[in-house]
Structure 1
Amino acid sequence: MLTPPDLPREAIAQCLADAYGLRDIRIEFLPLGADVNSAVFRVDASDGTAYFLKLRRGDFDKPVVTVPAFLHRDKGIEAVMAPLPTTNLQLSVQAHGFDWALYPFFDGSNGFERTLTDPQWTALGTALSAIHEAELPEALSASLPKERYDHHWREGVRRYQRRFINGVKGDGIVERFLAFWEEHAEEIDTIVYRSEQLASILLERPPRLVPCHSDLHAGNVLVGDDDRLSIVDWDTLILAPKERDLMFIGGGVGHVWNQPREEALFYEGYGPGDLDLVALAYYRYERIVKDLLEYCDQMFDAAASTEDREEGLRQMQSQFLPGDVVAIAHRGYDDIT
């Protein structure tokens, strides 16, 4: 969310006092991320401790806080950012139409803003390997969705395609959005078709399912001085083949993480293991399809701000640049065909 929610600072301060015992604090809204249903704040306490507050609107699944807590505290994976407990030892609270979770503040930048060092690339591989190898307690495992290669995203894009054919009116942002979509309509058809084709192949294979972050782009990896690193934003946890996460390494999301040398350093930490190239190609295409649907939803959401819609259009356009995610997905498809 790039604009602050309609929530008084006094209400935020009171909730933090009631739930976490924090008083005499300074609250700063952070315009981060393209998710219009999440808002984040920096909270500075009088003793100098800094916290990161995340508010989520809409459906909230407990595993987004319980699984990271287990991975960090029980499995000792320090790179996993885990929520702090409330005074009554809960990992989140609900108030004012949001679910609240409080985290330590990581002093650094995300992977879009700052290039990972060689040790950080290797550390990321080591951390992700430990996550994929972690055996979750049955209660946690049962609470996570399992990969189904669902057609939800593809059908959503097709609905918009039919809608665009019938004609859509809108403001200047919508007009630019539709012009770009029309220019790339044939390639979008190819992306959706290939995603479906690869899903049908994978459905015939019994996959090994592991805990996956599933949104491991550079924006969700924080890097700091002294080679510190933290994996954040566990909202989309799923049990899936490991390629669900590995598609981001070399996948070029946000026009970064697309260099062979970075991949080599990552796999030094991750360790040996056969990659399913069909699954890798599928997840890269499916990610693009998912993003396209979300850009469409955002573009025609009456509640979305102008800033959020402009950012969505910019991100969609960037995906089709040379060397970006669409080109990388096509290259992966060519490799297996």
Structure 2
Amino acid sequence: MLEPPVLPHDLLIAVLQEEWRIDARQLAFLPLGADLNSAVYRVATPNGAIFFLKLRAGPFDEIALAVPKFLSDAGIAQIIPPLPTLSGRLWATSGQFTAILYPFVEGLDGYRVALSDAQWRQFGAAMRRIHSATLPAELQARVPRETFSPRWRDTVRAFLVHVDQQTYPDPIAAQLATFLAEKRSEILELVERADRLGQALRSSPPPVVLCHADLHAGNLLIAEDGNVYIVDWDDPILAPRERDLMAAGSGLMGGWRTADDEERLFYSGYGDALVDPAALMYYRCERIVADIAVYCQQLLLTDEGGEDRPQALRYLMSNFAPGGTIELAMGTVRPGD
């Protein structure tokens, strides 16, 4: 979210005091991320302690906090765990928002600074530990399981019909509608490829592991001390490991290196893995389809969002650039493989 929500600072300060006994003297909104349902703040206290406050609007599932807390407690240092409230919960409520507090780690995300060779290996090694984690039965039962749902593919098909039947007074929406019409055949090819691969995987499901499910450069925090943290565990899932492995070499990691270099460095930390290229291609295609669907919902169904709207349009359009995510996804395996 690039613009702060309409929420009095006094309310946030009161929640921090009541739930965490933190005397917040300074709250600074941080214009980070593309999620319109999340807002983040830097919280400073008189004694010099710094915290990271995340507010999330809309539905909230505690599993998004319980999983990273478990992984951190299991000794995976690349996870920043949420701080419990005085009552032991991992979140509090503030008006219509869920409030989550973390230690503040100074650093930049992977879009703003390139990972070194060693940091790529550290990232790969951390993902190996995450994929090898054994969740307690009670926790595992609450983590969603991959279904290879056609939801986003159906949504994109519906929007391609929608833009032919509607006019849009909002300039961003109108620009998106024109762009979708121009890219219709390319989008449908992507959707149909994901459909075929998804149906095959649904018919013969691969083994599943715990996955982060939203790995990209923006969800890697490169700290000033050189450590790499995997953040934003909003949607953990039990899925084939390719759900996460697709990130290296996908065009989602900041564009600092070639796709081949990303994969080489990542797997030098991750270790040997039998990777299914069809599953890898499915997740790369499906990720783009889901992004198109979400951005269409954001830009065509509402005129809200302020400065987030042009950014969302840029993000959507960037998938179609030469050497971008679509080109890389469609080249993961040869047609017919």
* TM-score of the superposed pair, with normalisation by structure 2: 0.96
Counterpart amino acid of residue 131 in structure 1: I
Q: 1:21 to 1:192 in 2, by over 3 A?
A: same
CA distance in 2, matches of 1:154, 1:71: 32
CA distance in 2, matches of 1:301, 1:25: 39
Aligned identity (percent) is: 41
Task: Report what 2:296 is aligned to.
Answer: 296
Segments of structure 1 that go 5 or more residues without pairing to the other structure are none
Backbone CA RMSD of aligned residues: 1.4
Q: Mapping of 1:133-212 within 5 angstroms?
A: 133-212=132-211
Counterpart amino acid of residue 26 in structure 1: Q
CA distance in 1, matches of 2:286, 2:258: 18
CA distance in 2, matches of 1:118, 1:133: 23
The one-character-per-residue Cα deviations of 1:216-247 (angstroms, maximum 9, x if unpaired) are: 10100000234211110000110000000011
Q: Secondary structure at the match of 2:307?
A: helix
Q: Does 1:77 align with 2:55?
A: no
Q: Offset at 1:333?
A: 3.7
Q: Secondary structure at the match of 1:112?
A: coil
Q: Which moved more, 1:87-96 or 1:236-245?
A: 87-96
Q: Secondary structure at the match of 2:32?
A: coil
Q: Is the 2:246–2:283 contact (alpha carbons within 8 Å) kept by the matching residues of 1?
A: yes
Q: Is the 1:221–1:231 contact (alpha carbons within 8 Å) kept by the matching residues of 2?
A: yes
Q: Is the 1:83–1:102 contact (alpha carbons within 8 Å) kept by the matching residues of 2?
A: yes
Q: Is the 2:246–2:280 contact (alpha carbons within 8 Å) kept by the matching residues of 1?
A: yes
CA distance in 2, matches of 1:29, 1:258: 34
Q: Is the 2:119–2:228 contact (alpha carbons within 8 Å) kept by the matching residues of 1?
A: yes
Q: Offset at 1:302?
A: 3.0
CA distance in 2, matches of 1:303, 1:57: 18
Counterpart amino acid of residue 328 in structure 1: L
CA distance in 2, matches of 1:304, 1:83: 30
Q: Which moved more, 1:202-211 or 1:147-156?
A: 202-211
Q: 1:143 to 1:251 in 2, by over 3 A?
A: same
Counterpart amino acid of residue 263 in structure 1: E
Q: Is the 2:123–2:269 contact (alpha carbons within 8 Å) kept by the matching residues of 1?
A: yes
Q: Offset at 1:259?
A: 3.0
Q: Is the 2:3–2:306 contact (alpha carbons within 8 Å) kept by the matching residues of 1?
A: no
Q: 1:24 to 1:148 in 2, by over 3 A?
A: closer
Q: Mapping of 1:235-246 within 5 angstroms?
A: 235-246=234-245
Q: 1:255 to 1:336 in 2, by over 3 A?
A: farther
CA distance in 1, matches of 2:132, 2:152: 28
Q: Does 1:228 align with 2:243?
A: no
Q: 1:185 to 1:54 in 2, by over 3 A?
A: same
CA distance in 2, matches of 1:271, 1:101: 34
CA distance in 2, matches of 1:13, 1:225: 28
Q: Offset at 1:169?
A: 2.3
Counterpart amino acid of residue 76 in structure 2: I
Q: 1:188 to 1:255 in 2, by over 3 A?
A: farther
CA distance in 1, matches of 2:140, 2:25: 37
Q: Is the 1:212–1:240 contact (alpha carbons within 8 Å) kept by the matching residues of 2?
A: yes
Task: Report what 1:91 is aligned to.
Answer: 90
Q: Is the 2:212–2:237 contact (alpha carbons within 8 Å) kept by the matching residues of 1?
A: yes
CA distance in 2, matches of 1:271, 1:254: 19
Q: Is the 2:16–2:24 contact (alpha carbons within 8 Å) kept by the matching residues of 1?
A: no
Q: Is the 1:117–1:227 contact (alpha carbons within 8 Å) kept by the matching residues of 2?
A: no
Task: Report what 1:277 is aligned to.
Answer: 277
Q: Offset at 1:258?
A: 4.3
Task: Report what 1:249 is aligned to.
Answer: 248
The one-character-per-residue Cα deviations of 1:10-64 (angstroms, maximum 9, x if unpaired) are: 0000000000101142100011111111111111111111111111111101111
Q: 1:336 to 1:221 in 2, by over 3 A?
A: farther
CA distance in 1, matches of 2:336, 2:258: 19
Task: Report what 2:129 is aligned to.
Answer: 130
Q: Offset at 1:300?
A: 2.5
Q: Offset at 1:303?
A: 5.8
Q: Is the 1:250–1:263 contact (alpha carbons within 8 Å) kept by the matching residues of 2?
A: yes
Task: Report what 1:113 is aligned to.
Answer: 112
Q: Is the 1:214–1:238 contact (alpha carbons within 8 Å) kept by the matching residues of 2?
A: yes
CA distance in 2, matches of 1:36, 1:11: 20
CA distance in 2, matches of 1:183, 1:78: 46
Q: Which moved more, 1:171-180 or 1:101-110?
A: 171-180
Q: Is the 2:170–2:303 contact (alpha carbons within 8 Å) kept by the matching residues of 1?
A: no
The one-character-per-residue Cα deviations of 1:233-280 (angstroms, maximum 9, x if unpaired) are: 000110000000011111002652643223212111101011010100
